[in-house]
Structures are given as structure tokens and as C-alpha cells.
Amino acid sequence: MLFLHPFFLGALVCAGIPILLHFLTKPKPKRVVFPALRFLQENRQSRAQSLKIRHILLMLLRVALIVLIVLVFARPQTSGGDAAGENAPTAAIFVFDNLPRMDYMQKNKSRLDEAKDRARGFLRRLPAGSVAAVATPQTTPTAFLPDREEALRQIERLETVPSLKDLTRVCAESLKLFDNCDLPRKEIFIFTDGSEEAWSVDSNALKQALEHHPSTRVTLVDVSATEVANSCLEIPLADNFQVLRGGNVRIQARIFRTGVVSHVQRAALFLVDENGVPQKRGEKEIRDVQNAESVFEFEIGGLSNGTHQGWIELTPSDALECDNRRFFTIYLPPPAPILLVADAPAEKSAFLVKQALAPALLQKENRAKFECDVVSHEEFKRRLENSTESGSLQNYRSIFVLNPKSFSPRQWNTMAQFVHDGGGIGFFLGDAIEKGADFSTLEARLILPATVEFQARWSDGVALAMPRGVTHPIAQTFVDLEVPIPWSAFPIFRAWQTGTLEKGAQTALFFENGTPAVLEKAYGRGKALLMTTPIHVETGGSERQWNLLPLGESWIFVVLMNSIADYLSHGEDVSYNVTNFQTLRLVPPEEAGERFWLAPREIVETNPTAAPNTALSTREGVVSLVADRKARSLDVPALERSGNYVLRSEESDFWRGISVNMPRFCTHIQPLPTEELREVFVPLNVSILKNAQGNLREETRFWSSVDWFAILALLTISLFIVENWLAGRFYKIL
């Protein structure tokens, strides 16, 4: 037996008070002169014996009453009937919730440190012959540790780490250790802050594991803070950045608050310059909005093309620092080079296409997505024939051939090699083709998605239409606009009809009569596209007009050209801002080689007022990566630590920045109601210990016991009534 409040046992000395009073208040006989002396002596002896018995009975009742009152306050506990015995060897599993939210500080101690202290108390008081195991969301033990000191060392080494695995799954996996354990007592201790993010709604796996071990005793030690006040910065994603004119970038951020933050906070933005020195580029005061969101924006000006990194930080920091800083990477790609091939005079013929891809105003403001060079068909064919100059085609990401003419087999082969090596080429057919057979040769079919057969004419015109289901990226661009597309305002009057699709080819856009309008085919690492109607303005009158696509205020034409250019140029559609659990796939340039290395961004601290990037100084070292040149891809693995990283090529000047942040759920502090928490462990009953109760349990080391409080309290009340009734009768007789 043990006691929840053993210090009350000292009050047992009060049990001697009735005894002391019994002897001190013992009545003394009085001398009485009376004739019938013999009769009085006999009567006195009889009454004295009766009074003595009654006084002793009252004394014993009062002693018992005092003892019961003391025991009620001391709260005795006894074993709940475990046949193994309270001091039998125990197999104990210590499960720790060590996600970053456990870094929350209260009274100069983190929640994880509090959990360690509690666990050490339990571990040191395990009976002789016991074994233990330590489990976390990152590590599931495979065997018990017979050495208690090794378990203590594992607990001491615990640190907060992001993880996707919740405690429900950790407990279910850890219970498998009991399958081959012969010790009579089995205990699992769970140390957590009680956050709802720590537990899965689906606890079937845990319930099944508990059903296999019905004798397991589950104790949840709640180390949560009594009052939580926390500000959490939003994770920067691609949608948070908006590129403005002249290299300006607008960054939108949010703060999510839990509880009441008593002090005024400010959000500061730091940008790391080319020398690795952080520069403060803005600061905002966060308005006092409790238990809600605060939205604010920063605008950074004059950014050049390339990678820019930095972070946003809340000052002063609160009790949970790890979500007060978020890292970000802004990548402004250089304009993708595109070669436009058109009829002489080439600049005039390709003017509308060039303006759609690279408007003069955007070029002036350094915001153009593409950079266009224009050559005539004669110049283009010369480059295709000349092996030396054909290599210059590799400087372009894609080629637009407007109103193409026939090509020789050598020229087709050169274009096929360009596509195979990763380039993109688009043919926009017009009236320059004398016969469809020129685009149906064996060499042409190597890259073209279909053969070209004959011209079709529609006097009233037909409109473009998207395929059913919309799976092609070119068509998906229009779907993403989320606005009605007035295709009928730009009719097509003439178009080339194509034959059967080649293997691997597909149709991106149709005419409304069901005939293909835009077709494409992958070849090697690149793509070839065929549009059956031209995209340039014809001369010679309305009778020669093929379509009205490029005429007037045709925003459809602009969107279509940019969508095709993106698709053929393999434009990077990747965010360099990821979480700890995301992998990243990049398309490295050819000149970058195959080998890369990834390392934390080096920060040079020269400004004492700037928020230092101290977290980076303790990161893991350089990681070597190898690109898959056949697939033109480089896979960057998920990174455990948050911060800014640099990816560099070992063979060129190529580099990219990557920012890693922990997901918001890793720092989300919202307690799960106790009743819902108990439901997780059904059919077993879980003992939930909080605050001082947890410390008391650590000191007394009771496992699963019977609390005698209610029984003793009822007995005390009953005894008090009996004592009061007897005392009334005895004194009445006297």
C-alpha cells in the first residue's frame, strides 16, 4: 500500500489525544458518609465497571475516527489485483512526442525537457530486472534495452524533429515489442503536450494492438503548458510571391495566433546579398489581433534575374521560437531564348508573335518571360545544313517555324537531333507548303505527330475548342484562367488536315468540328508541335485569310502563344520553397554536368541588429547528388532541418537556392479534449496525469491501483455518527 499524500500520516499522533483525555479526565471517587455503607459500596463497584467499559469504547471509537480522518487525507492506494505483484519486473515502453511544438517554453523549461524529467523518474524507479525501450515518431525500437542506463542516455539525447508519423501509429508499432516479452508486467508511458495534431482520427491499428495486449497499462503524462500564447508565421509558398515591374517582388505573409500575446511584435524581412550578408529590407508592426490571423506585405525592389534568399522573422520571439522564422527563396529565371523563323522580311512577318511572347514594354522592364531572335527561312535552312552553325541551335530552348516550306532530309534530321537533345520545335502551317507530302516523308515523321494531307476550307469559319477531359497542359492553361473563352470571336477559315496520329502523339486543341488543330509528340527529351493553321497575318486580301487569331485585341492569341512556348521550352514550373517532407525534382541545364552538391547557405553576420541565421550553423554538411541525364532530372531529397540551402554544380557555375520550412502542424498547439483522447485507447482505460499529479506519480511510482478514498470517507462518516449517538446515550445514562 502507498499514499497519495503521505505527509498527512504525521497526523496519526493525534490518535493519542482521546487516550490522553481518557486518563486525564478519569473521575475521582468522592467520600460520602451514609449509613448504608455496604449497599453503596456494592453499587459503586457495579457502576464503576460499567462506566469504565463505556469510556474505553468511546475512546477506541474516537481513536479510530481520528485515524480514518488522517487516512482520508493521505489517500491510500493498493494494488489493483495484479497477480504479478507491484514489485515484479516490468517491460516499459517510453513514447515521446518530440515534434517542434514540444520546444514551447514555460518557467525556463521546454515541454520536451519536462517530459525527460518525468521519464527519468519513472525509469529509475522500475523494479529490479525490468527492461525499457524508447520510441519517438522518428525511431521505433526493435528490442528492449536490458541496460537502464542506455535507456537514460537515449532519453537525454532526444531533440525535437519534424515528422509525419503521429503518436497513434508510434504506439501501435511499439506495442509489437510485447509480442516476444515474457515479463509479467507491461507498461507504456506516453509523454506529450496533448496536442490534437499528435493523434490520428483513425486509431484502428492502435486498438487492434491493444486488444492483443489487454494486460498492458497505459499512462499518458500530459506536460502541456497551463496557458499557451503563440504566434506562428505562415510558410512561404509560390502563391506568396508576386513579380512586379522592374524586378520588384511583393511578398504576402500571415501570422496565426493562439492565445493572448501580451507584447507587441514586429515582422522583419532579411535578404541575403551576394556576399552572404543578411540585409534588413523591411519591417512591419503586427496589430494586436488575438486568436486570429494578421496579414501583411513586403515589397522588395530591384532584384536581378537569378536566385534570392532570405527569411521573415518575428521579434521579440515568444515561448515557441521555431515558428517565428520562415525562410524563402525567390527565383527570377532569365528569359527563355526562342528562335522565330519567318518569311522575309522576317522581323515584319514575325512581329505579332514576337510581341505576344516578348512585348517591348516587358523587355524594357526586365519582366519578359521569353527572349526572341528572328531569322528568315533561308537563314534557318543554312544553319540546318551547316554542321558548325547547327550547333548554335542548342542556344535556344525552342524554335517557332512560321509558315514553313519543304525541308531536305538532312534538314529534317538536324531538327530531329535538336528535339532529341531536349529542344522544342513548333511548325505553324500556312500556304507556303506546296503539297502535304513535303511533311509526310520518313524523316519528317520522325518528329511530327501526324502526316499532313490536304487543306480544308470553311467559309463561315470554325472556332477552336478544347478536348474533353482537358488533360493537355496547353489546354489546361485556358481552364486555369477561370473565365469564359470567346473562341467564336476568332474563327478559322482554312487549315491543313492531318492523317493518323503517330505513336506517342496527342491532340492539344481541336476545331469545333472535331478535326485536330494543335498536335504534339515527344521525341527523345524534347517535343515537336504541329499547328494546322498559321499564326501570322497573311497578305493579299481577305480571300487569302486563314484565320483571325492574331488580329485585333486578341488576348486569346497571346495566351495561346505563351502556353505553346512554355510547353516547348520546358519552362520550370517548380517552387523552390518546400517543407521538411517534400522532395524536389529539377531540370538541370546541359552544361551543369551530372554531379551536384547541396549545402546550407553560409551566412556572414556583420550587422548585430540583424536576426542571425544561427540554425544553419549546426546543419548537416554537404550532400552529393547525381543527375539522371537520360531523364533530364535531378532529385533533391527531403531535408530534415529548416533553412536556406544552396545547390551547386561541380562542373559549371550553375546554382539554385532551396528553402526548407517545417509544416505548420509541427508547431500547432491545440489540445485534444480528454474524452476524445481516452477514446483513442479503447478498449483499455488510460491514466492521464497532468501537472502536479504527474510529479506525485513520479515520486510514488504507483502503477495501476485501487483508491480507498471513497470507502474510507464513507466509513469515517458512519463512525462519526455512531460515536456521536453512543456518546449521547452514555452521557444521558450518567
Kindly report, residue by residue over 379-388, the tens digit of the pLDDT: 999 999 886 6
Q: In this predicted model, which residue has the larger pLDDT, 552 or 412?
A: 412
Residue 634 C-alpha cell reads as: 535531378
Q: pLDDT by residue (tens digit) across 120-163?
A: 989 988 888 899 999 999 998 989 998 889 999 999 999 999 99
Residue type, 212: H
pLDDT of residue 390: 56
pLDDT of residue 29: 59
What CA–CA distance (Å, rounded) separates 568 from 628?
20
pLDDT of residue 28: 59
Rounded mean pLDDT, 550-579? 84
Give me the DSSP letters along 417-459: HHHHTT-EEEEE--TT-S-GGGG-SHHHHTT-SEEEEEEEEEE
Q: Judge whether residue 9 has pLDDT over 90.
A: no
Rounded mean pLDDT, 59-73? 81
Q: Judge whether residue 66 has pLDDT over 90.
A: no
pLDDT of residue 702: 43
Q: pLDDT by residue (tens digit) across 269-309?
A: 999 998 899 999 999 888 655 556 788 889 988 788 889 99
What CA–CA distance (Å, rounded) separates 51 from 136?
70
pLDDT of residue 37: 54
Q: By C-alpha distance, which of 570, 594, 582 is closest to 658?
A: 582
Binned at pLDDT 50, 70 and 90, residue 1 comes out as low
Average pLDDT value for the chain = 82
Contact between 263 and 234 under an 8 Å Cβ cutoff? The reply is no
Contacts of 40 (CB under 8 A, 6+ apart): 32, 34
pTM: 0.66
Binned at pLDDT 50, 70 and 90, residue 257 comes out as confident
pLDDT of residue 732: 57
Rounded mean pLDDT, 598-606? 82
- Beta-strand relationship, 76-79 and 424-428: unpaired
pLDDT of residue 616: 34
pLDDT of residue 263: 77
Q: pLDDT by residue (tens digit) across 316-327?
A: 888 999 999 999
pLDDT of residue 553: 61
Lowest-confidence region among 3-12, 608-617, 661-670: 608-617
Q: Judge whether residue 609 has pLDDT over 50.
A: no
What CA–CA distance (Å, rounded) separates 726 from 110?
58
pLDDT of residue 23: 64
